[in-house]
Structure 1
Amino acid sequence: MREIVFDTETTGLDPQTGDRLVEIGCIEIVNRIPTGETFHGYFNPQRDMPMEAERVHGLSATFLSDKPLFSERAQELLDFLGDAPLVAHNAQFDFGFLNFELAACDLAAVSHERMIDTLAIARKRHPGAKHTLDALCSRYGVDRSHRVLHGALLDAELLAQVYVELLGGRQIGLGLAVDQGTEVERTGSVFAPKLGEHRPARPHFATDDEITRHKEFLKTISSPLWTQ
């Protein structure tokens, strides 16, 4: 199954009060395995960048001033998303900004029925624990040493690993199929054995010739341990 794990960076917390989306990063996974296909974009918000937001993601108004508007890459983004389920951490926030920007382009909103919220999954699986992305990376041993500031593509990459762990790891199916395709397509796991033609069991006894040659070989060994 194809899914998209994504993250956004913004100028603030509420698009209804003038905040804008300034970065989005998307990771494609199929049967919980990253395919290497990504979408990433910075966007000019056409407004200032509050210092509080810049301290989080490091994106200044100057850096973003020559970046494209969201509208210039909106269709490219939608083409990448396709009709796949969309995975995000605190997904209501990311969906809110994404759909606000789409509406500003006179494009249809992404249905919330496609939303998978890893924050809700984490709260259900680990009640009472910390559920930030950093905390979940620590819990599941996901290396985040290179995460100095928030970044949409980096955070999506980390979240993809956390999402897999939240759902029990990569091995999502043990059933073996007989049709052609990759191991992921057939079994849902890169660890599953490859299918092949049935071969009869090999004989597990030595022939008379092998026994004779073995005895001759033993005679060439001086002072063998088994005779002492």
Structure 2
Amino acid sequence: MRQVILDTETTGIETRDGHRMVEIGAVEMINRRLTGRTYHQYINPERHIDAEVVAVHGIDDAKVANEPVFSQIADEFWAFIEGAELVIHNAPFDVGFIDHELNLANQRRQGPALGPVRDHCRVLDTLTMARQMHPGQRNSLDALCKRYDIDNGHRVLHGALLDAEILADVYLAMTGGQTALSLDAEASAERKESSAASEGLSIQRLSLKPGALKVVRPTEEEEAAHAAKCQAHSLHWLESATPNA
């Protein structure tokens, strides 16, 4: 299965307010293994980037002034994601911006229109998955890194490619935990057996099959001895129970 773990950075929260994408980062995974293929692109949003947003991702007007606009990179980006399952944290946000950019790009291009995303890609939202797995807890990317013991100390600012790489590790941890637990349990059992052996103890696993036990019946002499023993006990009980005259 081909998956693309993806993240975007934008000029703001709402496309209806005229906000645009300024960065896309994505990594490719096939059969739960990273292939090394990535897609990373800064984008000129054709508008001013507010200071409060720059404080989050560090991308200001000057940094993207000479970058291509989205319509110039739309075909290359689309070729990277088309047909894959997109793994995104808070997918409605990123998919909404991608579809918005595709709609604007389609107005400038000739040929078949690109998008919408959900008509050509499966979408898996890791935020929804995390909320189902950890209800009532914080499920931001940073919180999940802490929960799954994933090092994100190099993440000072948000960055699309860096966040996509971190999300890939988080996704694998979230979806592979049961397998890891099973392996840990087997390893623990092996360690216990090894410890017992080192202390001179022997651990044996017995397997009993139904009907395998042999029935041994008493001999006539043994039956006679048993009857005499029972009679002697009965007489002793009667004598002790009879009151003195």
Q: TM-score by structure 1 length? A: 0.73
Partner of 2:100: 100
Partner of 1:12: 12
1:109 paired residue among 93, 108, 116? 116
What displacement does 1:30 show? 1.0
1:156 aligns with 2:175: no
How high is the sequence identity, in percent, across the aligned residues? 49
Verify the 8 A CA contact 1:74 1:102 in the aligned structure 2: yes
Change in 2 beyond 3 A, CA 1:7/1:93: same
Query: Structure 1: where are the runs of 5+ without partners?
Result: 173-228
What displacement does 1:5 show? 0.4
Alignment of 1:67-78 (within 5 A): 67-78=67-78
**How far apart are the structure 2 equivalents of 1:157 and 1:20?**
22
After superposition, what is the alpha-carbon deviation per residue over 1:111-164, rounded to whole angstroms, capped at 9, x for unaligned?
A: 166110000000000111110000000111111011000000000000001011
3-state DSSP of counterpart to 1:28: strand
Change in 2 beyond 3 A, CA 1:124/1:65: same
Give the helix-richer structure, 1 or 2: 2
Partner of 1:85: 85
The structure having more radius of gyration, on CA atoms, is 2
**How far apart are the structure 2 equivalents of 1:81 and 1:169?**
27
Residue 131 of structure 1 aligns to which amino acid in structure 2? N
1:58 aligns with 2:65: no
3-state DSSP of counterpart to 1:35: strand
**How far apart are the structure 2 equivalents of 1:71 and 1:30?**
28
After superposition, what is the alpha-carbon deviation per residue over 1:75-116, rounded to whole angstroms, capped at 9, x for unaligned?
A: 001111120110100000000000000011113211166110
1:123 aligns with 2:131: yes
3-state DSSP of counterpart to 1:83: coil
**How far apart are the structure 2 equivalents of 1:132 and 1:74?**
29
Partner of 1:39: 39
Change in 2 beyond 3 A, CA 1:83/1:171: farther
**How far apart are the structure 2 equivalents of 1:103 and 1:171?**
42
After superposition, what is the alpha-carbon deviation per residue over 1:48-93, rounded to whole angstroms, capped at 9, x for unaligned?
A: 1111110000000111100011111110011111201101000000
What displacement does 1:171 show? 5.8
What displacement does 1:168 show? 2.1
Q: TM-score by structure 2 length? A: 0.68
Verify the 8 A CA contact 1:32 1:170 in the aligned structure 2: no
Verify the 8 A CA contact 1:57 1:151 in the aligned structure 2: yes
Partner of 2:25: 25
3-state DSSP of counterpart to 2:67: coil
Change in 2 beyond 3 A, CA 1:56/1:170: farther
3-state DSSP of counterpart to 2:176: coil
Query: Structure 2: where are the runs of 5+ without partners?
Result: 107-113, 181-245
Verify the 8 A CA contact 1:33 1:170 in the aligned structure 2: no
1:168 aligns with 2:176: yes
Change in 2 beyond 3 A, CA 1:170/1:86: farther
3-state DSSP of counterpart to 2:87: strand
